[in-house]
Structure formats: C-alpha cells, structure tokens
Amino acid sequence: MRGETVNEQKNLSMKQQLKLLLKVQEYDSKLLELDMRKSFFPDLLTQLKTEMEKLKEEYETKKNRLTEVKKEIDFLEIELEENEKKLKSSQERLSTVSTNKEYDAVQLEIQTLEEKIADTEQRSIVLLDEQSSLEKEVAELEEKVKNTIERNKAQIEEIEKNSSEIDGLIEKIREERDEIASQISRPLLSKYRQIRKGRQGVAVVPIVDRACGGCRQALPPQKIQDIRAGKLTICENCGRIIVELETLDD
C-alpha cells in the first residue's frame, strides 16, 4: 500500500498535486471550522453549570432565611405570651397593693411590660411580612430551579449530541483529507504546512486579476506563465503558493 502511494506521487504532475493540495486546504479549512465550533462547547457547559449553581445558592439562601424567620417568630410568640401573663399578673397585683411605693413599683412593671409587648408585636409584624415575602420568593425560586434543571438538561443533551456529531464529521473529513494528502509529495506537503501555519490557514491562493489572490501583489508576466505551465510558484510578497484554477485541469 505504501509503495502504491509512492508510485502515485511519482506519476502525478505538479499541476495534479497542486489541485490535490487545494482539496487538502479545503478539508483543513473545514476541520478548523469544526474545531472552532466545538471549542465553544466547554464554555457553554460551564455557563449552564454556573447559572444552575447560582440559582440553587440563591434558593438555599432564601430557604435558610425563611427557616430562621419562622424560628424568630416562634420565639417572639413565646416571649409575647410570657410577657402578657406577667402583665396580667401585675395588673391583678395593682388592686392589692397597700402603699404608694408598691403601687408605683407595680405601675412601672406594667409600663415596662407594655413597652416590651408593643416592641415584640412590632418585631413580629416585620418578621411576618418578611416571612410572607420569603415564602413567595422561595416558591418562585423552587419552580425556577425545576424549570432551569429541565431546560439545562435538554441543552446539555443537545450540546453533547452536536459534539458527538462533529467528532464523527471530523473523523470522516480527516480520513478523506489524509487519503488525498498521501498522493502529494512530502516536500510539497511540508511546504504547504509551513506556509499555512504562518498565513492564517491559507497556503494556496488563485490568481485574481493577474495578481496574487492572497496579498493582491501584481504578478509579472513570466510568473503567470510559470504558473500556467504548472511550475510551483511562490508569491515573493506573502510567500503563498499561487495557482491558476482554470489551467489546473489541463
């Protein structure tokens, strides 16, 4: 098989090899495009993961705060109940005191307890409002988390499917590309790779209006004749290989 490839290379003219080289470049451009498309997938997956983590974190934060608020409300209810009992007891004692001093002391107790009760009730109102808001937010976030998980799952499956399809396409194109490349002489293929690396993936360009299709440098008549004759011609300005598409089939 290796011997057949060598013989094929020997039997191919420079024009034929340049025509094949254009095909190799076409395949390489497709491979580059597919690699670029696939390179976005990891970032997309990271974005989906980050979005989900932030949403879950927000949900857990709100949920934990709701639990704390409920505990605080329960504590205030106990505190309120105790102070109301104390207030009732103090009010009952007020009618049993025998001296002004005792009366003033009980009055102060009642005033202090009433202030505590008022403060506790106010704090309870604030916390109940917060609880109501949090319950609504937690319910909305819970639904949002559920929907986002379903949506992200579908997107991840789509990304993985596209990635798998691209992998299959890359493998197929690379096999076809390598089959064609095997018919081109090693020195020419090496020259192509070297130029392509330094010229943004474009190593072979056509003549355009009697100029290099890569840099638009005008070509002297002798250069054009050499190209038409099938000689390997390198642009003196940009270093790319120049071909004339119309005469490659001659």
pLDDT of residue 2: 39
Tell me the pTM: 0.68
Residue 244, pLDDT above cutoff 90: yes
Q: Which of 125, 145, 179 is the last residue of a domain?
A: 179
> For 199, what's the count of Cα atoms within 13 Å in the CB-facing half-sphere?
20
Joined together, the tokens standing for residue 74 give: 């329960």
Q: What range does the domain containing 220 cover? A: 13-27+185-247
> How confident is the model over 3-59, as pLDDT tens digits?
334 344 557 999 999 999 999 999 999 999 999 999 999 999 999 999 999 999 999
Contact 66, 138 (CB under 8 A): yes
pLDDT of residue 9: 53
Are residues 133 and 202 located together in one domain of the fold?
A: no
Own/partner contacts of 23-28, CB < 8 Å, gap of 24 or more, are 23/180, 24/177, 24/180, 24/181, 24/184, 24/189, 24/192, 25/192, 25/196, 25/202, 25/203, 25/204, 27/173, 27/174, 27/176, 27/177, 27/180, 28/177, 28/196, 28/201
Residue 1 lies in a domain: no
Residue 111 lies in a domain: yes
> How confident is the model over 149-178, as pLDDT tens digits?
999 999 999 999 999 999 999 999 999 999
pLDDT of residue 10: 55
pLDDT of residue 69: 98
Contact 188, 230 (CB under 8 A): no
Residue 103, pLDDT above cutoff 80: yes
Task: Map residue 15 onto helix, strand or coil.
Answer: helix
Instruction: Please state, in angstroms and rounded to a whole number, the distance separating the CA atoms of residues 237 and 216.
Output: 9
Are residues 61 and 171 located together in one domain of the fold?
A: yes
Task: Map residue 242 onto helix, strand or coil.
Answer: strand
Instruction: Please state, in angstroms and rounded to a whole number, the distance separating the CA atoms of residues 201 and 194.
Output: 10
Residue 33 lies in a domain: no
Are residues 128 and 153 located together in one domain of the fold?
A: yes
Are residues 112 and 153 located together in one domain of the fold?
A: yes
Q: Which of 119, 154, 179 is the last residue of a domain?
A: 179
pLDDT mean over 98-108? 93
CA dihedral (154, 159, 162, 163) in degrees, to 10, reads -140
**Residue closest to 247 by CA, chosen among 11, 14, 26:** 14
CATH number at residue 167: 1.10.287.1490
Are residues 134 and 217 located together in one domain of the fold?
A: no
DSSP state of 237: T
| Burial of residue 246 (number of CB atoms within 10 Å: 0-12, 13-18, 19+) | exposed
Residue 81 lies in a domain: yes
Residue type, position 164, single letter: S
